[in-house]
Amino acid sequence: MYIYYNETEKEFHLQNNYISYIIKIMKNNQLGHLYFGKRLNHRESFGHLMNILPRGFTACVYEGDLEFSLDLLRQEYPSYGTTDFREPAFQVKQENGSIVTNFEYQSHKIYKGKPKLDGLPSTYTENDSEALTLEIWLKDNLINMDLVLIYTIFGEYGVITRSARFINNGKQKLKLIRAMSTSIDFPDADYEMLHLSGAWARERYIKLRRLQPGIQSVSSIRGASSAQQNPFIALKRPWTTEDEGEVFGFNLIYSGNFLAQVEVDYDNVTRVIMGIHPFNFGWILDSGESFQTPEAVMVYSDKGLNGMSQIFHKLYRNRLVRGKFRDGIRPILINNWEATYFNFDEKKILEIARTAKELGIELFVLDDGWFGSRNDDSSSLGDWFENKKKLPNGIKGLADKITAMGMKFGLWIEPEMVNKDSILYTQHPDWIIQAPGRRVSHGRNQYVLDFSRKEVVNFIYEMISKILREAPISYIKWDMNRNITEPYSIALPPERQEEVFHRYILGVYSLYERLTSEFPDILFESCAGGGGRFDPGMLYYAPQAWTSDDTDAIERLKIQYGTSICYPINSIGSHVSDVPNHQVGRITPIETRANVAYFGTFGYELDLNKLTDKEKEKIRQQVKFFKKYRELIHKGTFYRINSPFEGDGNITSWMVVSDDLKEAIIGYYQVLAQPNQGYKKLRLKGLSTKYLYRIVGSSECYYGDELMYSGLPLDNFYLEILNKDKSDSADFMSKVYVIKAEE
Ligand code: DGJ
């Protein structure tokens, strides 16, 4: 990996074995963007990549020069109001009301490693030789403001990370009204935009649209990254498939309001900007203050969508997720939510835990309802001490008993929220986010604590850390069940109210940072009414995330398939739950429920004591199976094969291959039974052509090339259907195959 700086041409070239990223200091001393994509050999000058054609009827920077118009130039971090008419990367409002700026190149630094971003999650290096960082310092002399653009290139990945920092060195108060994390101008618009959109219980469906002139975007202004839109977009060529062709992926390491926007101009130049949503955003910088944007991750792959996803997965697994569970084994858990909801006591919990232990499950998670006087969702959020009526021996008593059984114990919390019916609210009614004189809207009977205030975060920290210190707790599920309304903090002056959303998320991150550093042995799982805050910001603190409240195996095919576009398999919280399923009422075989959940963190969420002995035995076998293969599933390379979003969506399949290519696990799912099915094969991916693979549990052997180019012969569901128990449905069949290279 290299970062070249050509003094004469004033060009920067960031290059590794996979990608090149090229920047030029233009003649106005601002930064032009020359190239991002597949690696280019280094050469003396790349200036010709700018391709400017003088055009009539545009505004130009210098008198007498009709060529130099920012409207015609591809830029690195564009401003508005000085000849570029597209939406900019940033805007600084000055005391006189002007938003016109001129940031010119001053200096740069190239160094090994990667800096931490103050108070924000980001990717990291473990030693300095893994990455190189370029900081380009620009200055607007009139207002005495510095702008630092920070780029990191990793040696191992086709990735550039970017962020920006603004420093007010002048005397006047400056207000950032837009501060995106990244901006890139691509020379053409022959792309499709892929994004992950949805809602509660159907998060991260894959959506695809052809770029058109004008603006297309996904965003959130809910105070959370949201179930509706994920802070991820990809630009792919129309001919790019899962396995071939070019694709650029953009992901924001941030959990609050975001904008991911693509603007195609009249010349078919495509501008991608990504960062904190400028809507209702403002940040005042007093003299001497600075503002750091979140980090954007930009991935390039010429190996299709699978290639792009594999880069995100590997980077996030190794250099975003932190702590002992990054590489450590994730326990198989049982969660009592769908088993009991709020209706439990110690006896009932211990009964479930005992059976879980017998079946080999490793961690018991006590969900909502254990604290204050909470028996439904109308009370007690904020009162983080045990409900003695349900748990007479407290959390410690229960946790001790479960730990004595040989299981770990985990707990649900929702630290950002409060119910009006709580001691916390009675004592601090002014601690919620609320606008003066206005009615406060609720969501699920609850209100959002003002995490932009340090005293609020400190108070919650004290309560939560006390429980964690007192009881043997190995896991925390951190939930967040509503979005922010009436965005206003009574602790901030009127002119700083547009800072509330970002300050809120910084407060969330600060609590996460304190708890994860003080309790490094606790595994955190993030959650937000299902997958309403499944983003890389959260993964920095919590290595896994509850993917969706929709636990139906068939619904999960789409949700997990879509989530895998950007997020690693070992971050995807997945449980086997009861039937009829609580979200859709569907009855699926227990085998299929597990076959889907295996491709995630894996656990259970049902009352095991209501199952038949036959079902319990199946669970025992599933747990055994997962323990055997979890290392492969969580650390191997994931490939999507058949998409539930394509065709009639009846077939989904995916697989994971070990790093040494000697082992693979394949999941194959058929939604509805089909009559008179023909001979079926599944073309596998990522195997070695040299190895002869045996299908575990059978005597069949095939070489890797046969499996990839001719296909794995599939069991005939049609025949299985004919032989099935009359009481079972023939729909929702699935099969998991394991293959191993013969020694
Ligand atoms: C929403 C979560 O997604 C569920 O798993 C569960 O924890 C409930 N909240 C509890 O209120």
Burial 200-232 (b: 16+ CB within 10 A, else e): bbbbbbbeeeebeeeebbbbbbbbbbbbbbbbb
Report the SS3 class of residue 647.
coil
Ligand 1 pocket residue status of 530, Cβ below 6 Å: yes
Task: Look at residue 537 in the predicted model and tell me its pLDDT.
Answer: 98
Q: Whose CA is nearest to atom 2 of ligand 1?
A: 529
Question: How many angstroms separate the CA atoms of 683 and 681, rounded?
Answer: 6
Q: What is the CA(338)–ligand 1 centre distance, in A?
A: 9
Q: Whose CA is nearest to atom 9 of ligand 1?
A: 529
Q: Which two tokens stand for residue 179?
A: 């501060």
Task: Note the Cα 159 to chain centre separation in Å.
Answer: 16
**By CB neighbour count within 10 A (0-12 exposed, 13-18 middle, 19+ buried), where does 635 fall?**
middle
The reply to whether 549 belongs to the active site is: yes
Global confidence as pTM: 0.98
Q: Which two tokens stand for residue 505?
A: 């998320």
Closest atom of ligand 1 to CA, residue 367: 7
Mutate to test the pocket of ligand 1, among 344, 481, 582, 604 (most ligand atoms within 8 A of CB): 481
The reply to whether 552 belongs to the active site is: no
- Helices 613-635 and 346-359, axial angle in degrees (round to 10): 70
Task: Note the Cα 575 to chain centre separation in Å.
Answer: 19
Q: Whose CA is nearest to atom 11 of ligand 1?
A: 368
Comparing CA positions, the residue from 697, 643, 705 lying closest to residue 671 is 643
Ligand 1 pocket residue status of 529, Cβ below 6 Å: yes
Question: How many angstroms separate the CA atoms of 554 and 596, rounded?
Answer: 8
Q: What is the CA(299)–ligand 1 centre distance, in A?
A: 33
Q: What is the CA(219)–ligand 1 centre distance, in A?
A: 24
Which of 185, 479, 578, 607 is an active site residue? 479
Ligand 1 pocket residue status of 527, Cβ below 6 Å: yes
Task: Note the Cα 475 to chain centre separation in Å.
Answer: 20
Q: Which two tokens stand for residue 161?
A: 């990370």
Task: Look at residue 674 in the predicted model and tell me its pLDDT.
Answer: 87
φ, ψ for residue 590, nearest 5 deg: -65, -30
Task: Look at residue 679 in the predicted model and tell me its pLDDT.
Answer: 87
Query: How high is the mean pLDDT in each 10-residue block of the chain (743 residues)?
Result: 97 98 98 98 96 81 90 96 97 98 98 97 98 98 98 97 98 98 98 98 98 98 98 98 98 98 96 98 98 98 98 98 97 98 98 98 98 98 97 98 98 98 98 98 98 98 98 98 98 98 98 98 98 98 98 98 98 98 97 98 98 97 98 98 97 98 98 88 98 97 98 84 69 96 93
Which of 140, 302, 450, 549 is an active site residue? 549
Mutate to test the pocket of ligand 1, among 200, 338, 367 (most ligand atoms within 8 A of CB): 367
Q: What is the CA(412)–ligand 1 centre distance, in A?
A: 9
Q: What is the CA(607)–ligand 1 centre distance, in A?
A: 16
Q: What is the CA(574)–ligand 1 centre distance, in A?
A: 13
- What string of DSSP letters covers 585-607? -----HHHHHHHHTSSS-EEES-
- Which are the contacts of 273, defined by CB distance < 8 A and separation ≥ 6? 87, 89, 180, 182, 183, 259, 260, 261, 263
Mutate to test the pocket of ligand 1, among 203, 368, 544 (most ligand atoms within 8 A of CB): 368
Comparing CA positions, the residue from 47, 53, 51, 54 lying closest to residue 24 is 47
Ligand 1 pocket residue status of 549, Cβ below 6 Å: yes
For residues 74 and 48, the answer to whether their CB atoms sit within 8 Å is no
Say which residue the tokens 């893994």 belong to. 130
Q: Whose CA is nearest to atom 10 of ligand 1?
A: 368
Give the torsion sign (CA, 599, 600, 606, 607): positive
Q: What is the CA(721)–ligand 1 centre distance, in A?
A: 36
Question: How many angstroms separate the CA atoms of 79 and 95, rounded?
Answer: 18
Ligand 1 pocket residue status of 412, Cβ below 6 Å: yes
Task: Note the Cα 46 to chain centre separation in Å.
Answer: 35
Mutate to test the pocket of ligand 1, among 335, 338, 412 (most ligand atoms within 8 A of CB): 412
Task: Note the Cα 656 to chain centre separation in Å.
Answer: 20
Q: What is the CA(368)–ligand 1 centre distance, in A?
A: 7
Task: Look at residue 721 in the predicted model and tell me its pLDDT.
Answer: 67
Closest atom of ligand 1 to CA, residue 377: 11
Strands 131-140 and 104-112: antiparallel
φ, ψ for residue 559, nearest 5 deg: -65, -45
- Which are the contacts of 666, defined by CB distance < 8 A and separation ≥ 6? 641, 653, 654, 655, 682, 684, 712, 736, 737, 738, 739
